[in-house]
Chain A
Amino acid sequence: MKLTNKFSKTESNAHDLLSIDDLLKEIILRLPIKSMVHMKLVCKNWNSLISDLNINSPVGLLFPYSGSWYTYVPFHVNDKSRDRPFVRVFNFIKDTSGIRILQSCNGLLLCCSDQPSKYGHKYYVCNPTTKEYSMLPRYKFWWLICGMNLAFDPSKSSYYKVVYVREFEWYRYELKYQLEIYSSEPGGGTWRKCGETFVAAQVNFKNGVYWNGAIHWISTTATGKSIYFNPGDDQLMMPKVMPTPPILDGDCSTRNYYFGESRGHLHYIDVYRMVTGFNVYEMKIDYSEWFCKYRLDLSRIVGSNLFSICTVVWVKKEKDSFLVLQVNRENLIQYNLVCGTFETICDVEVDMVEFDFDSSTEFPLQYIESLSRI
């Protein structure tokens, strides 16, 4: 039998660990997503292989650059030849004021118009891979908005939900909040009020993170509360309290933090300015505590330069998991969390790209390529 004929058949050789289909997957996975979709036409077997591929994996970081322009920096996992950073334009969303990306959630992005209209900012959910988008219905009390958050998990449902948090009233010196939910399910209609009003001292509703089926908001002050809310749980329509991250003392101007999710892991990192040692905390799945997952000291990498944590990326094989940090506002470094190796993945001068570090987005967003429909 000619070796190459193996590709046209599905039988596998006795000592092949991978079947030919697995080998084909290795090749197909390395195609750009559009080519991958084209290859569905090759034959029925390829179509089913491609439809089964789980391509919802973090592939890069999006940094605001200017208007609807974002600098995209691809990650580098195992593949030694990687793409260079380039600019992605989000002008497929037709909004005359341009758009800003607020949140990235399992392949979909939550965006809003750059400038408010008469009725506040317009909000959009989009998939930049398929360039599909949908504008969310108009929401009431737009002047009281505290945060808008996307909840989407394609492994559970092909529909997404958006949670809108707004101020409700002051009651005995405490500010009360109200949640509203929009669902993309057919017949989901418009915003609906959800549960009673609640108190949430010093919670930052701008940076909600979707993890474990719920949206999580933390307080970045030692005295504040941290809460989470599961929009899919119809029984309990109120946010629950979760342990506050281990916040360092000191005011916000001398430290920066990272709060994010990757492949089912919720992380929190707090870094003092000019201190190169820090801990990577992870939340236990039962919400019992934040535990210290990694203790790092980056002095040999950052020296006395300013640095901040961009993201933590969990990879299927834990030994490949890494974090990305910005050093001196110029270089992006990918640092392996397990073995401590590192490499520069973007150099502003070499790659001729620009970031806008003073944007309202607190940290750059992990971009995940997916074929999820809006």
Chain B
Amino acid sequence: MVTTDEKGPLTAKKKSVIIRSCDGDEFLVSESAAVLSTSLKKILEEKEDRLIHLSDIDNKTLAMVIAYLSTHADDGLSDDLKRSFDQEFVSGKEFDVLKYLVLATDTLQVTCLCYTVAKKMADIMKNKLVEWVRREFDIQNDYTPEAEAEIRRLDAWAWDDRQLEDD
């Protein structure tokens, strides 16, 4: 699968790079979009290689990150438009998808997307039960019931009459 970043004929002459996901799909990306990722920028500065292989980002996640980078590399869009794009970008996404995204933004070092995704994840997590969070992050509870009770006791102020969701 080769996708262009929909920039039209005017920018077609600009340099592009090909980025390959861990499952083998390739994406054609303009260099101006790629360099918004600090990691890709470093790779491009170091070698003239036009094909970059990312061993731990799958095709769906990579497609999303590239859509983000291309939008942000577009000089024709105002900051306000980019801002509303960011909100659209994360809205309605499953928590699982966001987890892959935040890991990818970290690997690729795209700080502003990392913050946007982290904020969205926090918004989803804020009214959830601790058990929900453990499930989503695949974390084992390593507390004894006594240790749990002690932690609740120390921060008793935070545990008054709150309705938390488990789904």
* A residues neighboring B (CB under 8 Å): 3-8, 13, 15-18, 23, 26-35, 37-44, 46-47, 78-81, 130-132, 371
Contacts and interface: CB of A to CB of B under 8 A. Distances in A.
Given A35-B122, A78-B112, 6 more contacts: A8-B138, A16-B106, A26-B102, A27-B121, A38-B164, A39-B125
19 contacts: A4-B99, A7-B137, A7-B138, A7-B139, A8-B137, A13-B107, A23-B118, A29-B122, A30-B118, A30-B123, A35-B122, A38-B130, A40-B155, A41-B143, A41-B151, A42-B139, A43-B141, A78-B112, A79-B115
Contact of B99 (A7, A130, A371): A7
A57 to B, nearest CB: 15
A31 B143 contact: no
Interface string B128-167: 0010011001111111000010011001011100101000
Q: At the interface, is chain B mostly helix, strand, loop or mixed?
A: helix
A4 B58 CA distance: 12
B56 interface: yes
Given A13-B56, A42-B133, A44-B143, A30 B119 contact: yes
A81 B159 CA distance: 26
A81 B119 contact: yes
B103 to A, nearest CB: 6
Contact of B143 (A37, A39, A43): A43
Contacts of A16: 106-107
Nearest to A1: B56
B118 A43 contact: no
A46 B151 CA distance: 12
B145 to A, nearest CB: 11
Interface hub of A27, A35, A39, A79 (most chain B Cβ within 10 A): A27
